[in-house]
Amino acid sequence: MGMDYPENEKRSLNFIEAIIEEDLRNNKNESRVHTRFPPEPNGYLHIGHAKSICLNFGLAEEYNGLCNLRFDDTNPEKEDTEYVDSIMEDIRWLGFKWNGEPLYASDYFDQLYKWAVVLIKAGKAYVDDQPQELISEQRGVPTRPGVESPYRNRGVEENLDLLERMKNGEFPNGAKVLRAKIDMASPNMHLRDPIMYRILHQEHHRTGNKWCIYPMYDWAHGQSDYLEGITHSICTLEFEIHRPLYDWFLDQIVEEGTYRPRQIEFARLNLSYTVMSKRKLLELVESGIVNGWDDPRMPTISGYRRRGYTPESIRNFADRIGIAKRDNVIDVGLLEFSVREHLNQIAPRVFAVLDPVKVVITNYPEGQVEEMEIINNPENPEDGSRKIPFSREIYIERNDFMEDPPKKFFRMGPGREVRLKGAYIVKCEDYIKDENGKITEIHCTYDPETKSGGSGAGRKVKGTLHWVSVAHAFDAEVRLYDRLFMDEDPAGHKDKDFKEFLNPESLKVLQHCKMEPSLKNAKAGDKFQFQRLGYFCVDPDSTDNHLVFNRTVPLRDSWTKKNK
């Protein structure tokens, strides 16, 4: 059986909500709540980003506030408009709406430059001619003071002149940097004169060739928050150590006692059996191990969408896992549970036979067809019912038959009776094998008194099988997806590459699967429960004459069982 997870209960405030409510009580920042989601457009969004999106946009909804979408586009080497577009599509699909137009850190490059000049004039920043490696070396270790740069005490005029010339493109990449002048002895390494600007002669996807100096993350982020009126700047735990620098930069430009944003850190999402870093995901894409960022095996939002996950299931998952202050790993089974739970409510039940074997019902009149009425979704009576044609020749699943079944095999075997779902009870009388011992045909008789919904429907047999009529079924392709990795923590092995743990069976493609006729008109994205098999959705690769179904998730979690 699947894992049991408690029903959603009314939960108490998480620690970020507690901070916000305290701020509201104190009328801080005029009691506004304004968050932002700040992706770097250097890859597609993954399920970890979904957690951050649900948190930031969710808090804005909860407190009648606003949430900005801000592209953190300070690193032109890795960024691309393809990523910008996919990020917007994914956020919309999750069901969130950002405040106004999408924003870009690059919109603030002029203002950031002006503030850099302010810092230089205040004696708080200087141009350093040393190479970055030497600068890193001089920072030293937290337990001992670092070494001050020989350029640290340059005069204001010289610094202003050099920064301007850096901006004007007079120096090659790496020749100079602008550094904040803070404290080379601080136990917090981020305060040891951090770099604010680097020279990078590189075209930017928005600013073109206007700039050849680009701000570092720490210099750009807090000031962008400030410019946008952000009140609560929520980020993941690895930025906790950056917070003093975030505050130091704001101290230089914000007047004491006025509005200022506050950085709050929470634990990032880690999922078992999953790699989440964009660098590793890009490697999977570029090496062709998966078929693009939206491959249904990828932990990207676009991958989950293509696989058949719903926005609701991802939002419910984010709700369930909650917000923590300490790093942890969430069982990927919980995500799968959340998608099953939602699909169970919304997915119509249909008949599809993936590995067919033919059954002839020898006492059923040749040429006769009966339309069997089948309920679409017992969880949702409003979905009504549909008719499925039944005839003398049907397909069942090959593994629903055994020549010599054990007692507890409640499916088809010689002399045994089963119910064909929504139709009749049949009894297996005989079967035919080819020269290789493969079963090619099964012969049954049916009991006309046992039609489902009729007066004889009450007779009970142990097994119920799904089926489709040979003459009425059509062929489709089915892609059976499974977890991409076989190891719980593929990226967590010191001497092994994460790609060593790929699951060789993460994709199995089946052709000539037999589908009930009502599926003929299914459209890309439509979701179904294939009875007794799992949840499936129509892949965008489908054409009118060739439907492709992706397995979203099997009906039950087989991984927990395997591992026990």
320 binds ligand ATP (CB under 6 A): no
276 binds ligand ATP (CB under 6 A): yes
Which one-letter DSSP state was computed for residue 301?
Answer: H
**Of these residues, 278, 340, 349, 451, which one is catalytic?**
278
Question: Near ligand ATP by CB under 6 A, which window of 57-65, 183-191, 252-260, 270-278?
Answer: 270-278
Judged by CB under 6 A, the residue of 130, 186, 236, 464 near ligand ATP is 236
48 binds ligand ATP (CB under 6 A): yes
Distance, CA of 87 to CA of 302 (rounded, Å)? 9
Locate 168 and state its tokens. 């004007």
Distance, CA of 242 to CA of 248 (rounded, Å)? 10
Contact flags string 25-44 toward Mg ion, x per CB under 5 A: ---------------x----
Judged by CB under 6 A, the residue of 176, 190, 278, 466 near ligand ATP is 278
Residues in Cβ contact with 414 at an 8 Å cutoff, skipping those fewer than 6 apart: 403, 428, 429, 430, 431
- Tokens 């493609």 found at: 509
Active site residue 255: no
> Residue 72 Cβ, how far from Mg ion at the closest point, in Å?
7
Judged by CB under 6 A, the residue of 180, 196, 199, 235 near ligand ATP is 235
What is the C-alpha radius of gyration for the chain, rounded to an integer number of angstroms? 31
Active site residue 40: yes
49 binds, among ligand ATP, Mg ion, none (CB under 5 to 8 A by kind): ligand ATP
Cβ atoms within 10 Å of 405's Cβ, excluding its own: 14
215 binds ligand ATP (CB under 6 A): no
Locate 507 and state its tokens. 């994709």
* In the complex, residue closest to ligand ATP by CB: 48
- Tokens 């294939």 found at: 530
Active site residue 336: no
29 binds, among ligand ATP, Mg ion, none (CB under 5 to 8 A by kind): none
49 binds ligand ATP (CB under 6 A): yes
Contact, 186 vs 241, CB < 8 A?
no
> Residue 42 Cβ, how far from Mg ion at the closest point, in Å?
8
Q: Among residues 543, 542, 512, which one has the least CA distance to residue 353?
A: 512
In DSSP terms, which residues pair with 180 in a beta bridge?
Answer: 125
400 binds, among ligand ATP, Mg ion, none (CB under 5 to 8 A by kind): none
- The residue (of 52 and 552) whose beta carbon lies closer to ligand ATP is 52
CA terminus-to-terminus distance, the chain: 12
Q: What is the DSSP string of 118-185?
A: HHHHTT-EEEE-S-HHHHHHHH--TTS--PPPTTTT--HHHHHHHHHHHHTT-S-TTS-EEEE---TT
- The residue (of 281 and 343) whose beta carbon lies closer to ligand ATP is 281
Q: Per CB under 6 A, which of residues 66..85 are in contact with ligand ATP?
A: 72
Distance, CA of 334 to CA of 342 (rounded, Å)? 13
Active site residues: 40, 268, 278
Footprint of ligand ATP (CB under 6 A): 38-40, 48-49, 51-52, 72, 235-236, 268-269, 276-278
Footprint of Mg ion (CB under 5 A): 40
